[in-house]
């Protein structure tokens, strides 16, 4: 077999493609490690950016969502999935206004996260203050170890 046959081997190109993808993944992981506190979780590119903390019997989520009405933030929990939905509306500017700088982003957003443990959906509380949404998710106490009596007949 000549050298040229090796070059045309479909497995060979497949391998180089795989290698390229792997190095992309690695560089992404390295990048996220440098910028986020937790290397395992990496960064997501979804709005809103959020922080999740585990407290004694509670998960606390904070998300930066400046400039949205509290009534227009739609928060739902279904099973173990928490979803935040909303829209940031464009500022009302006059008709003949001209922009000098435009750095702020507008539009709709939706983000779901999976809760690692069963939370008590009835006791979830949320509060929006100064552009930061704070969600408290108390853990369901019933999910702790439970003793099951074995009856003898």
Binding footprint of another protein on the chain (CB under 8 A): 35-38, 41, 43-56, 58-60, 62, 64-70, 87-88, 91, 93-94, 96-109, 116, 128, 130-132
Q: In this structure, is the dihedral angle defined by the CA atoms of residues 140, 143, 147 and 153, taken in order, positive or negative?
A: positive
Q: How far apart are CA 133 and CA 52, in angstroms?
A: 12
- Cβ density class 114-131: b for 16+ within 10 Å, e for less: ebeeebbbeebebebeee
Shortest spacing between CB 123 and another protein, in angstroms: 17
- From CA 133, how far away is CA 84, in angstroms rounded? 10
Give the nearest distance from C-beta 126 to another protein in angstroms: 15
Q: Name the minimum Å distance from CB 5 to another protein.
A: 48
CB nearer another protein, residue 5 or residue 91? 91
Q: Which is nearer to another protein, 105 or 151 (CB)?
A: 105
């Amino acid at each position: 077999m000549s050298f040229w046959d090796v070059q045309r081997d479909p497995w060979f190109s497949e391998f180089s493609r795989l290698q390229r993808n792997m190095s992309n993944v690695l560089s992404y992981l390295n990048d996220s490690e440098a910028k986020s506190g937790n290397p395992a979780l990496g960064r997501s590119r979804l709005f809103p950016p959020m922080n999740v903390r585990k407290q004694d019997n509670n998960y606390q989520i904070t998300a930066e969502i400046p400039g949205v009405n509290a009534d227009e933030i739609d928060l739902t929990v279904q099973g173990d999935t928490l979803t935040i939905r909303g829209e940031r509306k464009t500022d009302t500017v006059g008709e003949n206004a001209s922009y000098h700088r435009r750095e702020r982003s507008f539009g709709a957003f939706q983000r779901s996260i999976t809760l690692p443990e069963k939370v008590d959906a009835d006791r979830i509380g949320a509060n929006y203050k100064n552009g930061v949404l704070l969600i408290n998710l108390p853990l369901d106490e019933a999910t702790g170890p439970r003793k099951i009596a074995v009856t003898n007949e």
